[in-house]
Amino acid sequence: MNLATSSTGPVRATMDDVARHSGVSLKSVSRVINGEPHVSATLRAKVEAAIAELKYVPDAAARSLAGSRTFIIGLLLDNPSPNYTMKVQKGVYDAVRAHQYHLRIDNVDSSVPDDEFSAQLEALVRNSRCDGFVLTPPLSDNLLLLDFLDQSGIRYVRIAPALEKSRGSGIVIDDAAAAAAMARHLWDLGHRRYAIMRGPTAHMAAARRRDGFIEELKRLGLEHPVIEIDAGFSFEGGIRAGDSLLASGLRPTAIFAGNDDSAAGVMAACSKAGLKVPDDISVCGFDDSWIARSVWPYLTTVYQPIEEMGHAAASLLLRRDEPESALHRLDFHLVVRDSTAPPPQA
């Protein structure tokens, strides 16, 4: 179908054009565009095909006035890892853009006192005018934030929730099982002396990884205690934790870090101490972010589908027929590279 051309250029397609081209009513087109529930797959496919062919772009202002919505989705972050935030941002952005919405990204500091955090939230909601929020860890488990959004009547979807899992929709992987898989990999290589670099205390997924790793080693029959050091989720935290561990005189043969950033920092600390990875000590991480292939040797890690989790969370938020307590689980897998090997002989 060709649209008419005026003296100033091609005429912009309208909802009427989409309705005529797809052979459905104007109301049906509106329901598809606005993401309303109970729209059949056949109807949605017809309308979306017409939208694509006509290159129709919805008028955001008109949609907002008609439905009392702003067509803006907010992404809330409080994570020190740039690798994680870049991936989750891309996933959320792709989903939001596909639904003709706009994305607003905000960083909030949940470590401040409650009254200060509440003031941040009030200012955020007042200024952002978002139709809903995608919450990333550790904000996914911040009960003050969840209470605030519930009381304000604002919809949200949580990524990697650990507390009150039935509270709202969420996207998760099995962090404990993923860390257990890494423990089995190191055990099968022959390691029996381990250290773990713990993530932030407010990050519940980090706690699940720690527990899954240690419990699996106990199940396999480990006799020595696992050395535990706080590293956070940053490269600098990994260096500090690695320096502390190696200066203590304790020498594990394998180190599991809570994410790739801190694992890369641990590798830097090993290099400073004159240790070769993996000849002298094995190091592994979690996430499979770009930094896992930016260090040498390449990092053995757990692939967490961060981008897919962001996309799925935003898609859930935009689907109005989704049960409020739906929890969706995505898959992980182990990525074995060059930073792990059998332990050196005594």
The tens place of each residue's pLDDT in the chain, 346 residues long, gives 545 444 444 567 787 888 888 888 877 887 777 666 667 888 888 888 888 888 776 655 444 434 457 889 999 999 878 889 999 999 999 999 998 899 999 999 998 999 999 998 888 888 878 999 999 999 999 999 999 999 888 899 999 999 888 888 899 999 999 999 999 999 999 999 999 999 998 889 999 999 999 999 999 999 989 999 999 999 999 999 999 999 998 899 999 999 999 999 999 999 999 999 999 999 999 999 999 999 999 999 999 999 999 999 999 998 866 556 678 999 999 999 999 999 998 5
CATH numbers and ranges of domains, the chain? 5-58 (1.10.260.40), 68-173+306-330 (3.40.50.2300), 175-304 (3.40.50.2300)
Burial of 280 (0-12, 13-18, 19+ CB in 10 A): middle
Q: Tell me the C-alpha distance between 286 and 289, whole Å.
A: 8
Angle between helices 41-54 and 15-22 in degrees, nearest 10: 120
* Per-residue model confidence (pLDDT) at position 83: 84
3-class DSSP assignment, residue 23: coil
* Per-residue model confidence (pLDDT) at position 334: 98
* Per-residue model confidence (pLDDT) at position 65: 38
Taking alpha carbons only, the member of 311, 310, 291 closest to residue 301 is 291
CA–centroid distance for 112 within its chain: 23
270 within 8 A of 305, measured Cβ to Cβ: no
Quickly list H helices, the chain. Answer: 15-22, 26-33, 41-54, 60-67, 82-98, 114-128, 143-152, 175-189, 204-220, 235-247, 260-272, 306-318
* Per-residue model confidence (pLDDT) at position 172: 95
The whole-model pTM stands at: 0.77
Q: Which pair of tokens denotes residue 72?
A: 């803006």
Taking alpha carbons only, the member of 254, 337, 188 closest to residue 245 is 254
* Per-residue model confidence (pLDDT) at position 313: 96
Residue written as token pair 């993996």: 278
Residue written as token pair 């290589």: 189
In whole angstroms, how far apart are CA 301 and each of 17, 42, 185? 51, 42, 11
In whole angstroms, how far apart are CA 65 and each of 36, 61, 69, 183? 16, 6, 7, 54
Q: Tell me the C-alpha distance between 188 and 26, whole Å.
A: 62
3-class DSSP assignment, residue 160: coil
* Per-residue model confidence (pLDDT) at position 16: 81
Q: Tell me the C-alpha distance between 144 and 91, whole Å.
A: 26
* Per-residue model confidence (pLDDT) at position 77: 95
Q: Which pair of tokens denotes residue 76?
A: 């809330």
Query: How many other C-beta atoms lie within 10 A of the C-beta of residue 8?
Result: 6
226 within 8 A of 194, measured Cβ to Cβ: yes
